[in-house]
Amino acid sequence: MSRGKRGAFLCPADQQYIYKGSDFLTTLLSVSVALMVGLLMTRAFKPLKLPAVTAYLIAGVLIGPYCLGALGIDGLGFPSGESVAALSLISEVALGFIAFSIGNEFRMEELKKTGKQAFVIGVFQALAATLFVDLALLAVHFIMPDKLTVPQLITLGAIATATAPAATLMVVRQYKAKGPLTNLLLPIVALDDAVGLIVFAVSFGIAKTLVSGQVDLFSIIVNPIVEIFLSLLLGAVMGWVLTQLEKLFNSNTNRLNLTIGAVFLTAAISMIDFHVGPVHVSFSSLLVCMMLGTVFCNICPLSHDLMAGADKWTSPLFATFFVLSGAELELSVFADWAIVVIGIVYILFRCLGKYSGTFVSAKMTKCSPEICKYLGVTLFPQAGVALGMCSIAMQLGAEGTLIRNITLFAVLIYEVFGPVMTRQALTAAGDITPIPHEVKMRRHTKLAEAKERKTK
């Protein structure tokens, strides 16, 4: 293939010019508009004191297929779900860095203080959410048997375990939350992914058995164990490799570039998916990148500085990720009354399960009254992991479509209101403190300093 005029390639087969620039232009414009609209939306919602993640999600809805995207103007918004999905690379990388940051919360000195509590609460609240949703949807099944089947309710109960690590981490970062509740929250959110994978694999295996009449022990037992074990092993190996490579560089810039490159590489490797006989070999990118961060922060003496540098680099990436998440929200699910009714039941009883499970297990592990009262609220957000589960549920065919739509409805509600409730809970627990006056006046101070330098 030879190059013709700028921005085109000459195809020898038919000697025609194929212009490539317009696709790149549209993609770059779309990403730029997503980031800029998201940032402007945070300013617009500042008087309402909403978390930035909520503003980003609303910005995504604004430029998504149901608002500006419907105009069909290239670069102004996203005209379809497929156009958003085309940028899924950004979401995969962002989730990798989010998991890497959460891995930083598993430092041994902190785990010695909170590890037992985090494990007990993490497992208990996930199982409680499944139990509450299963029982509630079973009642709905008896009332509306033609709208909700047993395989569907079992699968939805398993999806209820999932908590959104991204939204939770963004709220913690934005408000610089620190304290006993935050120290427990992030490890629990990370553990929730592993528990959710196991519960979903078992529940979905049972659901498939009920639909097909065939028992698949590999899907129910072997595959989830293999996925979790290999994910943790791969993350640990990559964390060790990153630590050894870091020793080769003296420059902070080079070490930071190496760290960022390692997260990219780890996220890419975790996408590998193949079969060895009846065993399905796959990885959870969240678990892999979380383990990468966990091993790295515990064996690398310079991990504090490098992870802090990576956090600054990822700020625009996270903002774009949440705007794209908002653009993916499926507003059409509101058109089906059955989805709305079942979705409301799912949302309410998942929240009850999360809160009750957290409250009881926090009491059992002798947590403070503030943690018992407010920790459960911070576990309400739900997004990426749940959407991944419902995409697997599409293997059930027509029954999987209802599961997907109910999950999309729930994610829409959770993503908009969940971060707000997380912020309120962290504030009530005392982990978020008011912004000091000097920080609020930082811009004015810097402008005054710049003006003073000019006059000298």
Please say whether the dihedral angle defined by the alpha carbons of residues 164, 165, 168 and 173, taken in this order, is positive or negative.
negative
Residue showing tokens 């997004």: 383
Phi, psi of 8 (to 5 degrees): -130, 160
Ramachandran angles phi, psi of 16, nearest 5°: -110, 145
Q: Which amino acid is it at 1?
A: M
The answer to whether 50 and 420 have CB atoms below 8 angstroms apart is yes
In whole angstroms, give the CA distance from residue 94 to residue 267: 10
Would you state the structure tokens that stand for residue 443, as one six-digit string? Answer: 């811009």
d(CA 403, CA 389): 10
Q: Nearest 5°: CA angle at 435, between 430 and 437?
A: 140
**pLDDT attached to residue 235:** 93
User: At which residue do the structure tokens 């912020």 appear?
Assistant: 423
* Per-residue pLDDT of the chain in tens (456 residues, 90 and over written 9): 444 444 444 454 444 444 445 677 788 888 898 899 999 998 888 888 778 888 888 898 898 888 888 888 777 788 887 888 888 888 888 888 888 888 887 888 777 777 788 889 999 999 999 999 999 999 998 988 888 888 888 989 998 988 877 788 888 888 888 888 888 888 888 788 778 878 887 888 788 777 766 666 676 677 778 888 899 999 999 999 999 999 998 888 898 899 999 999 999 999 888 888 877 788 888 889 989 999 999 998 888 888 888 878 888 888 888 888 888 877 777 777 888 888 899 999 999 999 999 999 999 988 889 889 999 999 988 877 777 777 777 777 777 888 888 888 888 888 888 888 988 899 888 888 876 656 666 667 777 777 777 776
Residues 6+ apart with CB under 8 A from 117: 184, 362, 365, 367
Direct distance between the N- and C-terminal alpha carbons of the chain, in angstroms, rounded to an integer: 60
Helices and strands (DSSP H and E) totals, the chain: 20, 5
- Tokens matching residue 274: 């193949």
Q: What is the C-alpha to C-alpha distance for residues 378 and 423, in angstroms, rounded to an integer?
A: 8
Tell me the domains of the chain and their CATH numbers: 88-432 (1.20.1530.20)
Write down the pLDDT at residue 244. Answer: 93
Contact indicator for 25, 75 with CB cutoff of 8 Å = yes
